[in-house]
Structure 1
């Protein structure tokens, strides 16, 4: 049987690093962790209960926007395409600071 799950880029990185440390594939590590959680009556430190999770996900989205804007600037040598790409950077930077402030308040 095969199941598909979605993770944020930050979660994939953390899972991949831990899987490598355990000398497992990412899929093997996820399978082992899911089975262990299913067999446990009350999984400890459930990520979905972490009050910072929405903030981390928002930060991941803002980072994606920033990466897209930077890529657009790099692809546009000069002219209106580059100007349009550069124009979004201040707003993305402002959202980044807002999310970071929220993360710091929760921590």
Structure 2
């Protein structure tokens, strides 16, 4: 049986690093981890209960917003879309610093 799941780029990077450390493929690592979680009775082992998860998701969202704004600036020529994206960058940068400060405090 084949199952498809989706992960954020941040999650994929973390999973890939751990899988490599365990000398497993990402799919093999995910399969082993899912089976271990299914057999576990410890509710704290659940990923959504990880206190770092909101920070990882916030970093992922900020990266997506920054990438979208930069792509718009790069690809839209000198039109109004470019100007609107440029106007967003200072706020996005400030929000990025706030998220990174939270990550550093949690570390």
What is the CA distance between 1:65 and its match in structure 2?
Answer: 0.3
* Matching residue of 2:106: 106
> CA RMSD, aligned part only?
2.3
Q: Aligned residue pairs: how many?
A: 107
Distance change (3 Å), C-alpha of 1:101 and 1:23 = closer
List gaps (5 residues or longer) in structure 1.
none
* CA distance in 2 between partners of 1:22 and 1:88 (Å): 42
User: Does the Cα contact within 8 Å between 1:19 and 1:29 map onto a contact in 2?
Assistant: yes
User: Does the Cα contact within 8 Å between 1:58 and 1:99 map onto a contact in 2?
Assistant: yes
What is the CA distance between 1:94 and its match in structure 2?
Answer: 1.5
TM-score (norm 2): 0.79
TM-score (norm 1): 0.79
* Matching residue of 2:31: 31
List gaps (5 residues or longer) in structure 2.
none
Distance change (3 Å), C-alpha of 1:56 and 1:2 = same
Does the alignment pair 1:74 with 2:74? Answer: yes
